Chain A
Amino acid sequence: MKDVPAVNVDRGKIPFGERIYLGPILGGLRVTLRHFLRNVFGQRDVATIEYPEVKRQYSERLRGRHILTTNEQGEVRCVACYMCETACPADCITIVAEEDPTAAVDHEKRPLSFEIDLLRCVYCGYCVDACPKQAIIMSREHEMAFTTREEAVVGIDELRQKGPIDQEDLGYRPYF
């Protein structure tokens, strides 16, 4: 520990210029005044985002509300393999499986119900990582508010993609 390159940041005794308060105080006022004038006349430096009229542009990796993707026939791609349920640290996913009568092969499964408790969810994205079918992905929809806890438990109908996938507000998903 002796030969660590250290830089000493001690400032020692207060020099005269600082002891009379005035210099540093005026220097400080200059800083705040500069910010004030730049904000009033410049406008370009104003950091404030005028939500809800203006929205911050988040990246396409934002972990928001989940989407259950569908295939060409409009059925959810989920095969009820329980991988997302297993990977979820919050245990907020509940899947009930049934046999898929429309499948070409026997004993194919599909979800009878697929519920996510959006208030339990910690939006870590582990379900997306775990899914082997790209059936669950995340959207950028993060502005949510509920008035009851029951309202926050959403099923297949609320979660399934609404239109073509490229028209969804896509967030965290395997391909970028």
Chain B
Amino acid sequence: MTVSSTQSLTERHPLADAFPGDGVETIGNDADGHTVLAVDRSHLLEILRQLRDDDRFRCDFLSDICGVDYPDRQQRFDVVYHLANLDSGERYRVKVAVDEDDAVLPSAYGVWKAADWFEREVWDMFGVRFEGHPNLKRILTHEAFHGHPLRKDYDPGQRWLLTEKDIMTPEWAREEQLDDQHMESQVLNLGPSHPATHGTLRTVLRLEGENIVKAESEIGYLHRCFEKMSETHGWQQVIPYTDRLNYCSSMINGVGYALAVENMLGIEAPPRAQVVRVILSELSRIMDHAVCLGANLVDLGALTNFWYFFQIREEIYGLLESCAGGRLTVSYARIGGLAHDVPADFEEQVRRLLDYIPPFVADVDKLITRNRIFRDRTEGIGVLSPEEAVAWGWTGPCLRACGVPYDVRKAHPYMGYEQYEFDVPVATTGDTYARYLVRMEEIRQSLRIIRQAIDNLPGGPVITDDHHVALPPKEKVYTEMESLIWHFKLIFEGIKVPPGDAYHFTEGANGELGYYIVSDGSGTPYRIKVRPPCFALYQAYPHILEGLLVPDAIAILGSLNIIAGELDR
């Protein structure tokens, strides 16, 4: 069972001349639109630099670093880098193989800052070390953890217990580190259970007076092992798990995953399913922004808006529940389409929502947007320049607030987004206030998309009739032998996804939500790596904080919309 990692590569690639040395072993194009380079470890750093600086590539954006374990191979681990040129939209995948005995790679932190946490994750999950990394330690698992859980020989149920005495504080935050120079300073531990951290984030701050002089974030408090669980479940069974990644907008995750697998299978959902997916995804985006803005405003002392936004959410829940049967975790998308058709009054319900939502958004707008108290607290706070934001791997509303109009729905349209007229909200100041304004405008743009989609809702089936992928209709299962057999095979053996790997990305509520999927042709995924947008957003957070005040930390955190389920998976 070996997965070919360099399939569909051509012999002589137009870009081959760019790499005269022997660093690049193979170069080719993958079916998912990536240029794939297999690179020798000794030349990795120089090639990554070239990809960033050479005018032919200009990869200013590192979207993901991911490990894959092939225990049967001589060079056991693959480390996969996903790069992009945001201007041209070109995408690159760089693979480098390492031995188990000598699992060391040079750190790419000096090339893209975004590599910081992604490399720590690869170390934590696979045990591949990155030389030159400023702070290489475990990130998702806890201090008392042994082993590297995403290695194939790690038992999924093997737990290690953490006691309070094992919990470590960063070196610089310990009391004995106080010298004369820092006598005035103190350490503040924000989280993991703190009302402003919305669940499970922890940030350790060193304060001088009220000024933050140093900060470090600790994550992993909600590491639910999504990636390991997906390796022990069938392709279709992963969908309920994806719901719980970004639980504020669960539909978007499920759709993103279904699209990624459909892309590997070479199938497409029927038109009706596509449009329904667009409508429900955009409603989920509105819900997500509602939670983000509502909670952010609560932290800043504006509670009323939270009630208004939650009324919107409750009404959208009503629609989702009548479609899927679940309010929050919908499990409605399926590989190949949707679980079942929408209810008869779907159109009517959506139109009612289109009338219901805008007044509440307008109310919040009236309460907040022109309010000077809010502006004073958020303007000029947590500023990131566009270059820095891209270097940190930011995407989504937070990147657009910095002035980069990158939206996957526009840059790489999927699911028919090219048919809809909508604008990408952009701000230039890159501060907390800009992030608020961008999200408010995105709610309005989403409503615009839904309005167009519901006007053009086609009829027809909502799931593909390919019986290798979708369960046959129930009435056939009850009556026809052939359908029963297909049903039986799909339940017990699962979908067979052709061997290979692909990276597919969609615009989640927080930015680029990517799935890097490796299949070995069996009924369960070999490896699923999620590229959560929050992960990149949050790794910049401690760096933004330095020089600001504690109340600013709260305001910025809320505006980044860090969802722990997606951050820690």
* Interface membership of B363, Cβ < 8 A: yes
When the two chains form their complex, are residues B426 and A9 in contact, meaning their CB atoms are under 8 A apart?
yes
When the two chains form their complex, are residues A4 and B405 in contact, meaning their CB atoms are under 8 A apart?
yes
When the two chains form their complex, are residues A126 and B322 in contact, meaning their CB atoms are under 8 A apart?
no
* Interface membership of B19, Cβ < 8 A: no
When the two chains form their complex, are residues B331 and A125 in contact, meaning their CB atoms are under 8 A apart?
yes
Given A9-B426, A61-B322, A122:B240 Cβ within 8 A: yes
Q: Which residues of B contact A176 (CB under 8 A)?
A: 340, 343
When the two chains form their complex, are residues A174 and B237 in contact, meaning their CB atoms are under 8 A apart?
no
* Interface membership of A111, Cβ < 8 A: no
CB distance from A143 to the nearest CB of B (A): 14
Nearest CB in chain B to that of A125: its residue: B325
Q: Restricting to B484-515, which residues have a CB under 8 Å from any CB of A?
A: 484, 487-488, 491-492
When the two chains form their complex, are residues A9 and B438 in contact, meaning their CB atoms are under 8 A apart?
yes
Partner of A1, one of B87, B237, B311, B433: B87
Whole-angstrom CA separation of A131 from B88 in the bound complex? 49
When the two chains form their complex, are residues A59 and B237 in contact, meaning their CB atoms are under 8 A apart?
no
Partner of B477, one of A126, A132, A138: A132
Q: Which residues of B contact A87 (CB under 8 A)?
A: 237, 491
When the two chains form their complex, are residues A58 and B407 in contact, meaning their CB atoms are under 8 A apart?
no
> Number of contacting residues on A, CB 8 A?
49
Q: Which residues of B contact A11 (CB under 8 A)?
A: 369, 433, 437
Whole-angstrom CA separation of A152 from B225 in the bound complex? 25
Given A21-B373, A122-B329, A132-B478, A1:B426 Cβ within 8 A: no
Partner of B375, one of A14, A126, A133: A14
Nearest CB in chain A to that of B371: its residue: A24
Given A125-B331, A126-B240, A59:B321 Cβ within 8 A: yes
Of A27-35, A68-76, A97-105, the stretch lying at the interface with chain B is A27-35
CB distance from B569 to the nearest CB of A (A): 16
Partner of A19, one of B325, B372, B426: B372
Of the four ranges (under 10, 10 to 19, 20 to 34, 35 or more), the interface on chain B belongs to: 35 or more
CB distance from B565 to the nearest CB of A (A): 14
Q: Which residues of B contact A50 (CB under 8 A)?
A: none
CB distance from B73 to the nearest CB of A (A): 30
Given A6-B424, A62-B321, A132-B488, A89:B367 Cβ within 8 A: no
* Interface membership of A124, Cβ < 8 A: yes
CB distance from A154 to the nearest CB of B (A): 20
* Interface membership of B434, Cβ < 8 A: yes
* Interface membership of A47, Cβ < 8 A: yes
* Interface membership of A63, Cβ < 8 A: yes
Q: Which residues of A contact B438 (CB under 8 A)?
A: 9
When the two chains form their complex, are residues B372 and A21 in contact, meaning their CB atoms are under 8 A apart?
yes
* Interface membership of B323, Cβ < 8 A: yes
Whole-angstrom CA separation of A61 from B342 in the bound complex? 11
CB distance from B225 to the nearest CB of A (A): 13
CB distance from A79 to the nearest CB of B (A): 12
* Interface membership of B382, Cβ < 8 A: no
When the two chains form their complex, are residues A61 and B325 in contact, meaning their CB atoms are under 8 A apart?
yes
* Interface membership of B427, Cβ < 8 A: yes
Q: Which residues of B contact A10 (CB under 8 A)?
A: 427-429, 434, 437
Nearest CB in chain B to that of A24: its residue: B370
CB distance from A24 to the nearest CB of B (A): 4
Nearest CB in chain B to that of A49: its residue: B314
Q: Scoring B residues 271 to 314 as 1 if CB is less than 8 Å from chain A, else 0, what string do you get? A: 00000000000000000000000000000000010000001001
Whole-angstrom CA separation of A59 from B492 in the bound complex? 31
When the two chains form their complex, are residues B441 and A9 in contact, meaning their CB atoms are under 8 A apart?
yes
Given A27-B366, A59-B322, A86:B427 Cβ within 8 A: no
CB distance from B88 to the nearest CB of A (A): 8
Whole-angstrom CA separation of A61 from B311 in the bound complex? 22
Q: Restricting to A124-159, which residues have a CB under 8 Å from any CB of B?
A: 124-126, 129-130, 132-134, 138
Whole-angstrom CA separation of A13 from B339 in the bound complex? 50
Q: Which residues of A contact B325 (CB under 8 A)?
A: 59, 61-63, 125, 138, 171-172
When the two chains form their complex, are residues B474 and A23 in contact, meaning their CB atoms are under 8 A apart?
no
Q: Restricting to B386-434, which residues have a CB under 8 Å from any CB of A?
A: 404-407, 410-411, 422-429, 433-434
Q: Scoring B residues 233 to 251 as 1 if CB is less than 8 Å from chain A, else 0, what string do you get? A: 1001100110000000000
Whole-angstrom CA separation of A61 from B367 in the bound complex? 38
* Interface membership of A175, Cβ < 8 A: yes
* Interface membership of B324, Cβ < 8 A: yes
When the two chains form their complex, are residues A47 and B314 in contact, meaning their CB atoms are under 8 A apart?
yes
Q: Scoring A residues 159 to 176 as 1 if CB is less than 8 Å from chain B, else 0, what string do you get? A: 000000000000110111
Whole-angstrom CA separation of A93 from B34 in the bound complex? 42
Given A89-B240, A176-B343, A18:B370 Cβ within 8 A: yes
Whole-angstrom CA separation of A21 from B422 in the bound complex? 34
Given A18-B370, A47-B314, A59-B343, A7:B441 Cβ within 8 A: yes
When the two chains form their complex, are residues B366 and A123 in contact, meaning their CB atoms are under 8 A apart?
no
CB distance from A133 to the nearest CB of B (A): 8
Partner of A28, one of B89, B329, B371: B371
Partner of A6, one of B370, B411, B423: B423
Whole-angstrom CA separation of A27 from B362 in the bound complex? 12
Q: Scoring B residues 333 to 362 as 1 if CB is less than 8 Å from chain A, else 0, what string do you get? A: 000000110010000000000000000000
When the two chains form their complex, are residues A31 and B426 in contact, meaning their CB atoms are under 8 A apart?
no
When the two chains form their complex, are residues A86 and B491 in contact, meaning their CB atoms are under 8 A apart?
yes
* Interface membership of B534, Cβ < 8 A: no
Q: Scoring B residues 81 to 98 as 1 if CB is less than 8 Å from chain A, else 0, what string do you get? A: 000001111000000000
CB distance from B389 to the nearest CB of A (A): 14
Q: Which residues of A contact B477 (CB under 8 A)?
A: 132
Q: Which residues of B contact A19 (CB under 8 A)?
A: 372
Given A8-B426, A31-B367, A61-B324, A1:B405 Cβ within 8 A: yes
* Interface membership of B471, Cβ < 8 A: yes
Known: A1-B87, A6-B423, A125-B331. 10 other contacts (CB 8 A): A2-B87, A5-B410, A8-B428, A10-B434, A11-B433, A18-B375, A47-B311, A59-B321, A124-B331, A176-B340
Give the 7 A-B residue pairs with the shortest CB-CB distance, closest first: A59-B322, A61-B325, A7-B423, A24-B370, A174-B474, A9-B437, A63-B325
Could you show 25 A-B contacts with beta carbons less than 8 Å apart?
A1-B88, A1-B405, A4-B405, A4-B424, A6-B423, A7-B423, A7-B424, A7-B426, A8-B426, A8-B427, A8-B428, A9-B426, A9-B434, A10-B428, A10-B429, A23-B370, A24-B370, A32-B367, A61-B324, A62-B321, A63-B325, A126-B236, A129-B339, A130-B471, A132-B477
Give residues in A with beta carbon < 8 Å to B: 1-2, 4-11, 14, 18-19, 21, 23-25, 27-28, 30-32, 35, 47, 58-59, 61-63, 83, 86-87, 89, 122-126, 129-130, 132-134, 138, 171-172, 174-176
